[in-house]
Amino acid sequence: MRILGIETSCDETAAAVVQDGRRVLSNRVLSQIPLHEVYGGVVPEIASRAHVEAIIPMVRGAVEDAGMALADLDAVAVTRGPGLVGCLLVGMETAKALALALGKPLICVQHIAGHLYSPYLGRERDAWGAEVSAPPPPFEPYIGLVVSGGHSSVVLVEGPARFTVLGETLDDAVGEAYDKVAKHMGLGYPGGPLLDRLAQDGDPRSFAFPRSLLDRTGFDFSFSGVKTAVARAVDSMGGPQAVRADAVLLANICASFQAAAVDVLLDRAGRALRRHRLRRIAVTGGVACNRGLRAALRARLKDACIALPDPEFCTDNAAMIAGLAYHLAPQGGSPPTVNATASLALAGDWRGGA
Ligand code: KG4
Ligand code: ZN
């Protein structure tokens, strides 16, 4: 079964074709970063307009890359929510029109569920190490840590679409905190990759930034405290310009911020594994590309089986939508009356429509 996936929930216009839920035949992503970086964040109106311009060529390209014609597709999958509603609408209307014109089912997918599914994707092997052309091995439950610009969640995954949310951020998502810290320091957008690079040369113990909620037994996150603490430290050192002019100080601040963020993520991941007596953990979302986080996971969760998807499947992409849709197809598609929704829960039925 070959499914076209479409993803436009934020600032990436993405289209992909995935065979039988795991083998990625094509994966096109057009990032809008150059359009938003002057504003230091995503501007929803600019994002949806850019999706309108890019979506048809992206879909054509993904189908072509897969060596197929539109008529060869078995279904059309799309992100229905959560996300920026004006952006989601572009993907939804395109997918609805395509499904109707081709006479194929329309399968609606929840964006975070897509991220949680990303360890099963690959061109030859998936992030668990299994061959994607072989029949899928029996499903084993795992802890999913979704860390992106919009989300920070710890989830118990008991089937491709069976989730129990254990914890979420109470304020900023971790990627958002990276972006805001970088913005405060005048470093550019998006901040995550920039801070990650600068942190490599710094001393993570030079500043004792707060690790929020480490004393609690739950799994929620809070990143606004550490963000504010970094901003205060920067201001007390003479402000962003002075900090940027001192390469050692800049690297030390970035490394100390990253250490605080990573400590909190590792605490939740480790405790969730122990609480549910599991060995498997998958870390996805844009922040899962972070080198400090990847190294710390391998060093500190020694007994765990860790799936760290390829960066192209960690950041927003449509392969994760097409892959998960394969498992939803048996329950039937959505009616053409279905609408995008800015807030769509992880648990529940995503099909919508009257
Ligand atoms: O998953 P994603 O592409 O989009 C959302 O759904 O949000 O994640 C984007 C986020 C941004 O906040 C970006 O700064 C962060 O992921 N990010 C990183 C790194 N690469 C991307 N954060 C830390 N380290 C990185 N290497
Ligand atoms: Zn995302």
Tens of pLDDT, residues 130-152? 999 998 889 999 999 999 998 99
> What pLDDT is recorded for position 354?
60
The burial of 289, by beta-carbon neighbours within 10 Å (0-12 exposed, 13-18 middle, 19 or more buried), is given as buried
Tens of pLDDT, residues 275-305? 999 999 999 999 999 999 999 999 999 999 9
Q: Ligand 1 — pocket residues by CB below 6 A?
A: 10, 148-150, 175, 178-179, 190-193, 196, 285-287, 289-290, 315-316
Closest CA to 321 of 56, 83, 8: 8
**C-alpha–C-alpha distance, residues 271 and 156, integer Å:** 12
Q: Enumerate helices (H) and strands (E) in the chain, giving the number of each.
A: 12, 10
Nearest CA to ligand 1 atom 13: 192
> For residue 12, which atom of ligand 1 is closest to its CA?
3
**pLDDT average, residue stretch 258-274:** 97
Distance 126 CA to ligand 1 centre (A): 21
Tens of pLDDT, residues 302-330? 999 999 999 999 999 999 999 999 999 99
Distance 242 CA to ligand 2 centre (A): 34
Distance 330 CA to ligand 1 centre (A): 33
Measured CA to CA in angstroms, residue 220 lies from 32, 151, 235, 272, 288 at distances of 30, 12, 29, 11, 18
List all residues 6 or more positions away from 194 whose beta carbon is below 8 Å from its beta carbon.
182, 187, 188
Distance 283 CA to ligand 1 centre (A): 12
Distance 104 CA to ligand 2 centre (A): 26
| Tokens describing residue 28 | 């096109």
CA 12 to chain centroid, in Å, comes to: 11
> For residue 314, which atom of ligand 1 is closest to its CA?
1
Distance 174 CA to ligand 2 centre (A): 12
Nearest CA to ligand 1 atom 21: 286
Tell me the residue type at 263.
D
DSSP class of 134: S
Tens of pLDDT, residues 110-136? 999 999 999 999 999 999 999 999 988
CA atoms within a 13 Å half-sphere pointing along the CA-CB vector of 123: 7
Alpha helices in the chain (DSSP H): 33-36, 44-65, 85-102, 111-117, 174-184, 191-199, 224-236, 240-245, 247-275, 291-300, 311-314, 319-328
**C-alpha–C-alpha distance, residues 181 and 244, integer Å:** 13
End-to-end Cα distance, the chain: 27
**pLDDT average, residue stretch 206-216:** 91
Look up tokens 């994707």; give the residue: 121
List all residues 6 or more positions away from 213 whose beta carbon is below 8 Å from its beta carbon.
170, 220, 221, 222, 264
Sheet of 106-110: strand order equals: 23-31, 12-19, 2-7, 75-81, 106-110
Nearest CA to ligand 1 atom 7: 149
Does pLDDT of 104 surpass 80? yes
Pairing of strands 75-81, 162-168: unpaired
Ligand nearest to the CA of 147: 1
> For residue 197, which atom of ligand 1 is closest to its CA?
26
Closest CA to 327 of 71, 70, 77, 27: 77
> For residue 111, which atom of ligand 1 is closest to its CA?
6
> For residue 292, which atom of ligand 1 is closest to its CA?
24
**pLDDT average, residue stretch 242-264:** 98
> For residue 315, which atom of ligand 1 is closest to its CA?
3
CA 228 to chain centroid, in Å, comes to: 24
Residue 163 pairs in a beta bridge with 157
**pLDDT average, residue stretch 241-245:** 97
> What pLDDT is recorded for position 316?
96
**C-alpha–C-alpha distance, residues 295 and 234, integer Å:** 27
**C-alpha–C-alpha distance, residues 153 and 53, integer Å:** 32
Ligand nearest to the CA of 148: 1
Distance 164 CA to ligand 2 centre (A): 18
**C-alpha–C-alpha distance, residues 41 and 241, integer Å:** 20
Tell me the residue type at 187.
L
